[in-house]
Amino acid sequence: MILNKKKFNAVVVVEGKDDTIRLKQFFPGIETVETNGSAVSDEVLAELKKLSQSREIIVFTDPDFNGERIRRIVTKAVPTAKQAFITRKEGEPQKRGNSLGVEHASKEALERALGDLHEVEETKSDLTFPRYRELGLAAGSGSKHLREKVGAVLSIGYGNAKTFYQRLNTFGIGYTELKHAVEEAKND
């Protein structure tokens, strides 16, 4: 469980001040760097690169297109950054018209996401695209829904077929682990 700065030496990359406010509500000592939108300035990237020399960097963006774009940009600049994910359902706003985001997640969802971090694996996964497709995660009816459920089981968020496949390989999730996750998702 993440309690304060002493037990949580990471800097969390979020999209904006509402995300910071939400995280500080439950984790008062947490430190964040806000990207302030999907453009991610060179100054923010330089700050993160410098911080990564002495601190752990965690990318924790919204489960939407812009969040994924920010995640890719930051991870490219800081390849050692760890990744935290909430599901689309966990990021749904209470008020109609608001956008999906970390700022809407419950304390439990935030604790789970920050407690179950993923990092880029140097070893390659044994997962191939044909095996991925065989499991029903691409090019089939219901594949989008299945990817959402499997993403929740593995705590790696949602992605379209190509993005999700790349994420599985990036995190070193192999065929056997994925097959078990698919079975669990289907039985849920």
Phi and psi (nearest 5°) for 146?
-65, -40
The residue from 83, 115, 147 where one domain ends is: 115
Tell me, yes or no, whether 5 lies in a domain: no
Residue 20 counted as domain residue: yes
Q: What is the pLDDT of residue 7?
A: 54
pTM of structure: 0.85
Token pair 């050692």 in the structure block, residue = 80
Q: Which residue range is the domain that position 95 belongs to?
A: 10-115
Structural domain count, the chain: 2
The answer to whether residues 81 and 104 belong to one domain is yes
The most distant pair of C-alpha atoms in the chain lies apart, rounded to whole Å, by: 48
Report whether 133 contacts 144 (CB < 8 A): no
- Indicate if 51 and 94 belong to the same structural domain: yes
Q: Domain containing 21 — which CATH number?
A: 3.40.1360.10
Is 100 part of any domain? yes
Please report the pLDDT score of residue 1 as a whole number.
38
In a domain? residue 139? yes
pLDDT score of 2 more than 50: no
Residue type for position 187? N
Q: Which residue intervals of the chain are DSSP H helices?
A: 17-26, 42-51, 65-77, 107-115, 129-134, 143-154, 161-170, 175-187
Task: Give the tens place of pLDDT for each residue, 49-95.
Answer: 999 999 999 999 999 999 999 999 999 999 999 999 999 999 998 88
The answer on 94 and 28 residing in a single domain is yes
Task: For residues 65 and 155, state if they share a domain.
Answer: no
Residue 100 has which token pair? 């999906």
Do 39 and 104 lie in a common domain?
yes
Which range is least confidently modeled, 3-7, 50-54, 71-75, 118-122? Answer: 3-7
Cβ atoms of 60 and 113 within 8 Å: the answer is yes
Check residue 8 and give its pLDDT. Answer: 64
Angle at 146 between CA 72 and CA 153, to 5 degrees: 70
Domain finish residue from 70, 88, 115: 115
Radius of gyration of the chain (CA): 16
* Higher pLDDT, residue 97 or 163: 163
Distance CA 137, CA 182 (A): 9
pLDDT digits (tens, 9 = 90+) for 11-62: 999 999 999 999 999 999 999 999 998 889 999 999 999 999 999 999 999 9
What pLDDT does 188 receive? 80
User: What local confidence, expressed as pLDDT, does residue 113 receive?
Assistant: 95
- CA 34/CA 36 separation, integer angstroms: 5
Average confidence score pLDDT of the chain: 91
143 & 102 share domain: no
Q: Which of 115, 148, 172 represents a domain boundary (last residue)?
A: 115
Whether residue 123 lies inside any domain: the answer is no
Do 101 and 76 share a structural domain? yes
